[in-house]
Structure 1
Amino acid sequence: MAQAHRIKTEPPAMRAGILRFVKGVLQESSFWLVVLIALGMIGALATFHVADPAWTHTANVAKIHNLVGTVGAWFADVSLYFFGYPAYWLPLGLLFAGWRLLKCGALLELDAEIVLFRVMGFAVALVTACGLAALHLKPGLGAVPGAGSAGGLVGVHVSRFLVQAFGFAWGNVLIIALLLAGVTSVSYTHLRAHETVLDLVCRLLLEKKKKQ
């Protein structure tokens, strides 16, 4: 008579431990991959050379000067052409996003509205930083493609529009205000899921009133 064999199953605690370990390894490796990409972006921007063939011009050179090669030369050329010096915010933003999502364990708490809010905030901060750079900084020799601005093409148009519309003084005030608003929206950590900016302001005012 055949005997029934009991199927051995892993204890739930062991299975949960394995899943937790795999999740931790994936998050850690993904974070360091993001760090590597961001460092490559910084290296490409820092070693930009006007003689390297890229998007804004073509050239025949025996050796690419950019640390990240042809890809780095193209990335630096395009980024510096459009954003100028604030192009360095791109790898910094990537590092911040990787640290928040992967290192702080916020990956599973993502909400589409909050992600969109933060991305828009970063875009506003980047654009206004370009405007400030275009107004107040002069690019060094060979620091940006061609005869570009310290704020890139974006900074030139943003600063020109705001200064023509509001004047130099108030244009600067508006740019700084938008820059601070953009940075705050990216870095502020108290925005809850399914909560609009207006909801956040009302909640903070109520909490402050209760404390008083």
Structure 2
Amino acid sequence: MSDTQAQARSSVRFTSAVARGLRESAMIAIGVVALVLFAALATYSPDDPGFSFTGSSTVVHNRIGPVGAWLADVLFFLLGRPAFLLPVALAASCWALLRRGRSEPGSHMNTTVRIGGFLLVLIASCGLTTLHWQPGLLRQTAGGVVGSLVGKGLAAGLDFLGATLLLIAAWMAGASLAFGMSWFSVMDRVGTWVWDGIGWLRTRGASARDAAEGRERRQARQEAVKSEQKKAALRAPPRIEPPAPLFEKSERAEKERQVPLFDPPRANELPPLKLLDDPPPREALYSAEALEALSRLVEMKLKDFEIDAEVVAVQPGPVVTRFELRPAPGVKASQITSLA
């Protein structure tokens, strides 16, 4: 029993190895054929001897030689410019073999459908190329014999626009079958990319506007600072008045300065004021620099309310500091008093 299972496992491994080897060999062969076909088409010259060539020249310009010249001439004669789709299809087949690890059930039907879709794409491409492209170096139309039959035949019955729309529809249907793509998914992705691009452009535009506004404001601020510096250099500093005394001596205190030498105080009189200590001298709360800075601060705060005024004098008090303002021409005093 164990020998049978071991033989079965060995047979499976051998089959998998053979399938992998065949798949890799096919991939290499198809890749080489695609490269050779592409080189033959890319180096095509109408002067090379070929299927549709008439003349005695034996010089071959094709990089694949006489075989490549004949092959390119035949393909361009039949298919025109869409002949380049053949090496592309072979390269896609090579890539599909590389990605597929092993044969899947029902893969033959899938392969048949994909081949049919590619043929539909090829025929529609030939027709569209015939209707919209010039032949160039080709002896036939840009779409070859197939393009002439399909494109011109449809244009004769449906006119140019109808033939173009029908061929585009056929091309899209063939692409869906050949590559398994969904055009609705493509439209969703394209729409997402478009909206993302619009959002990115809006963000970039907003950032650019913010940066421009920042530069303008910075430049305006610098100009305002320079203007204020020039004005400050020409403007006289505010006049700082000495602080008012805290107390003024009363008449009684002045009278009591003359002290009687011989009259004793009467019993019903109040005690003299000289018994009280004099108040200490008042110290300045702010220096001249601080008062000048406060004056500039008051002017700046008034400019926040679009009021242009100049502090010409400062009188510090024990509790309240008074600023004497000189409004600019056109500024009413009510504009200043309304801020209180």
What interval of TM-score do these two structures reach, taking the shorter chain for normalisation?
0.7 to 0.9
- Structure 2 matches for 1:179-194, cutoff 5 A? 179-188=171-180
- Letter of the 1:134 counterpart: T
1:72 and 2:68 correspond: yes
Give the structure with the higher percent strand.
Answer: 2
Aligned to 1:196: none
Taking the aligned partners of 1:106 and 1:136, their CA distance within structure 2 comes to 42
- The match for 1:160 among 147, 152, 156 is 152
Distance 1:106 1:58, change over 3 A: farther
Q: Tell me the distance in 2 between the aligned counterparts of 1:189 and 1:15.
A: 38
Contact conserved, 2:20 with 2:102, CA < 8 A, in 1? Answer: no
Contact 1:55 1:78 in 2 (8 A): yes
TM alignment of 1:52-131, pairs within 5 A:
52-101=48-97, 103-105=99-101, 107-131=103-127
Distance 1:109 1:120 in 2: 19
> CA offsets, 1:174-212, max 9 Å, x none?
11000000111111179xxxxxxxxxxxxxxxxxxxxxx
For residues 15 and 93 of structure 1, do their structure 2 counterparts lie closer, same or farther at Cα, with a shift above 3 Å needed?
Answer: same
Distance 1:107 1:12, change over 3 A: closer
Gap change, CA 1:117 and 1:13, over 3 Å in 2: closer
Query: Which residue among 10, 25, 31 is the counterpart of 1:29?
Result: 25
Which amino acid counterpart does residue 123 of structure 1 have in structure 2? L
Residue 128 of structure 2 corresponds to: 132
What TM-score, normalized to structure 1?
0.74
Secondary structure of 2:61's aligned partner:
coil
CA contact (8 A) 2:19 2:102 kept: no
TM-score for the superposition, normalised by structure 2: 0.48
Deviation at 1:10, TM superposition (A): 6.3
Asked whether the equivalents of residues 117 and 177 of structure 2 are also in contact (C-alpha less than 8 Å), the reply is yes
Of residues 89-98 and 15-24 in structure 1, the stretch that sits farther from structure 2 once superposed is 15-24
Tell me the SS of whatever aligns to 2:57: coil
Q: Which has the higher helix share?
A: 1
Instruction: Give the Cα separation in 1 of the matches to 2:12 and 2:103.
Output: 18
Deviation at 1:25, TM superposition (A): 2.7
Q: Secondary structure at the match of 1:89?
A: helix
In the TM superposition, what is the alpha-carbon distance from 1:101 to its structure 2 partner? 4.0
Tell me the SS of whatever aligns to 1:150. Answer: coil
Q: Separation in 2 of the partners of 1:18 and 1:78? A: 43
Structure 1 residue aligned with 2:162, among 145, 170, 187? 170
Q: 1:49 aligns with which of 41, 45, 53?
A: 45
Given residue 100 of structure 2, which amino acid in structure 1 is its aligned partner?
C
Is structure 2 residue 146 aligned with structure 1 residue 150? no
Matched with 1:207 is: none
Unaligned residue ranges in structure 2 (runs of 5+): 183-340
Aligned partners of 1:36 and 1:178: how far apart in 2? Answer: 30
Q: Which has the larger radius of gyration?
A: 2
Q: Counterpart of 2:127 in structure 1: which amino acid?
A: G
Cα separation, 1, equivalents of 2:153 and 2:146: 11
- Contact residue 82 and residue 143 of structure 2 kept, 8 A: yes
Bigger relative CO (Cα 8 Å, ≥ 6 apart): 1
For residues 148-190 of structure 1, give each alpha carbon's deviation from its aligned partner in whole angstroms, at most 9, with x where no partner exists: 1111111122111212222222221111000000111111179
Partner amino acid for 1:93? A
